[in-house]
Amino acid sequence: MGFDRREFLVSSGVAAVGLTVALPKRAGAITVSPPWYERVRRWGQINISEPDARDFDIGWWRRYWKATGTQGMLLNAAGVVAYYPTNVPFLPRSTFLAGRDLFGDLAKVCRDDGIALVARLRYKIGDDNKALLAAHPDWASVDSQGRPGNPCMNGPFIYDYWPKILKEIATDYKPDGFSISGWGANYEICYCPTCTSLFRQKTGQTLPKSADWNDQVYRTWVEWNSDQVVAMWDFQNAVTRRYGGADCLWIGQLVGTVAARDSRKIADRAKMLMLDHQFRSEGESLAENSTAGKIFNGLMGWSRPVAAAQSLYFGRLASAPLVETQAYIHAAVAGGLVPWWHTISAYNEDKRRYDIVGPVYDWHRKNEPYLFDRKPVATVGVVWSEVNNLYFGRDSIGPNVVEPWSGMVDALTHARIPFVALHADHIDRDAHGLRVLILPNLAAMTQQQVASIRKFVADGGALLATGQTSLRDRFGDPLEDFALADLFKAHALPEARTNGPAQRPDSGMDGGAFTARQAMKVPAGHEPDRITSAYFPRCELIRKARIHPGNPSLCQERYGIPFWLDSTGLTSLCWAAISTAYRPHPVPKCSRSMYRRRPSRQRTHG
């Protein structure tokens, strides 16, 4: 029996927050407690290349998995080619199989050795499968010029064709789950007949002509497209759970950064996440991997597993540096991530990569009781949100969102101040126990997010905000004043509202588009107090979450960067470029952007 889009929509209610389908278990399946995705503590992956279909040395790899203590494996089943004798049309078998069922052999070995098997897939057409595209041109996405691209996530390729492949693999080989890189999520406007029809049915409008953030129709499309991404995730999970059992998860691999799209919605419904986050980018520290763990474990409530890949290769053919790669894996573990080594091809001339995993996984196994079921003890939360990423970041998410976020995180790391990453929609859920919330250029905010910040401060929490925080609505349009102006005890001047988020950041701003002198006006009667500066690592506001109470003060340094402290000592607005001390920026020495008041003789609080 097939499983189509209509049946899924009727049975599951795709608009619901989470997948609610009551799916039958596979006949004869044995319920395992805990399920595989909670049981596996150390993952591995071989991204099989076509010659491996002929040359894969299963015996060698069995010994390697046992020696390293690897408990779960991601192994290629299908994508550009199939590594098993498929009967699905237009899915070519690897020409190197020569009658061999490589995936079947690997599935049997994993079952015999007690290793969880996740079938690795890749959803892609185009040059990789010209015959399929020629036979079904309506399966491809279409750009504004009518040119076909990768498969449309709303079309028959995803909802009709791939369920046949998932069913074949699930029923014939019984993998524990599926993991997909390049899983089909599309954030470009698709003008194929399916998208044109679905968008009109949902909104009564035609698709926007271009990506224009000031166009209400485009904004409607952005929200609709986000719902479609989640609908695809839910549908694929419904298929794999129908044919593979209740715990047969379909997991699309996410980019492990704060800029990842739809990560909160996906985390809300996922039992496990997998991050395709294999190595640090140029200019990033090893600690960035730990931060990725904080972001996605935070989304999962620190209660569901998040695994992150670490590549053992460099440039695919060469081995990665041993010490750095081991340190990168340790950084992942420090952020609460489940380690997951990854290599290209089952055979490599440069075999130094195979020496990386053993010592790290041996240490991990010995310390396993201390590395899981943990809760953060940090009292500082750095807040982010996809609303701000989208509608303030727009086409300049780097300078407007990522750099202020990364700069603040790097500053905290250099200062050795523990912190967690906190989604703005989860403040009410997860901010208990935190003493300080930091809002790095969190310009676009929903009314509920603003209300959550107010409640946090009313309950005694401290607040540090930078850049244009709360100066824009949830669609990135400028407000008349900061939504949190009463907490900041500062107000936006008209000049601050005339600059759009896509403009080049001013050298005196933390990713924003206007200077501090343009941004604020001081309440009448308040003059700047004499201050003494402190480098960020000595920032007592964050370390102690309180400063000496007294009259409001506005501190200003030579770059014209004010730092506002309210009369309770609990709320501050900092327009300094925190990120400039730790990220490339033309303004020098902006690590001197955090200030404390000169202690007075009447001081009674620490």
Structure tokens at 355: 């020496």
- The helix/strand/coil state of 497 is helix
Report, in angstroms and rounded to the nearest whole number, the Rg of the chain calculated over CA atoms: 26
Maximum CA pair distance of the chain?
A: 86
Contact 356, 364 (CB under 8 A): no
Q: How far is the first Cα of the chain from the last one, in angstroms, to the nearest whole number?
A: 70
Contact 333, 364 (CB under 8 A): yes
Q: Work out whether the CA dihedral 25, 29, 32, 35 comes out positive or negative.
A: negative
Torsion of CA 397, 416, 453, 390, to 10 degrees: 10
Give the model's pLDDT for residue 270. 97
Average the pLDDT over each of 285-289, 544-548, 569-573 and give the range with the smallest value. Answer: 544-548
Give the model's pLDDT for residue 574. 55
Helix (H) or strand (E) holding 529: none
Give the model's pLDDT for residue 314. 84
Mean pLDDT of 313-338: 92
Angle between helix 322-334 and 287-299 (nearest 10): 30
d(CA 11, CA 451): 36
Tens of pLDDT, residue by residue over 39-85, are 999 999 999 999 999 999 999 999 999 999 999 999 999 988 999 99
Q: What's the burial of 549, exposed, middle or buried (CB within 10 Å: 0-12/13-18/19+)?
A: middle
Task: Tell which wins on pLDDT, 556 or 429.
Answer: 429
Contact 376, 302 (CB under 8 A): yes
- Domains recognised in the chain with CATH numbers: 36-56+71-253 (3.20.20.80), 257-374 (3.30.750), 380-597 (3.40.50)
Give the model's pLDDT for residue 148. 86
> Chain-centre distance of CA 10, in angstroms?
30
- The helix/strand/coil state of 158 is helix
Structure tokens at 402: 């990522």
d(CA 331, CA 339): 10
d(CA 505, CA 518): 13
Q: Classify 175 in phi/psi space as left (phi over 0), alpha (psi -120 to 50) or beta.
A: beta
Mean pLDDT of 334-344: 96
- Supply angle C-alpha 44, 45, 49, rounded to 5: 155
Please report which residue ranges of 114-215 form alpha helices under DSSP H: 130-135, 156, 162-173, 193-203
Q: Work out whether the CA dihedral 185, 197, 14, 8 comes out positive or negative.
A: negative
Average the pLDDT over each of 33-37, 249-253, 451-455, 524-528 and give the range with the smallest value. Answer: 524-528
Tens of pLDDT, residue by residue over 120-153, are 998 866 566 678 878 888 888 999 999 988 889 9
d(CA 17, CA 322): 43
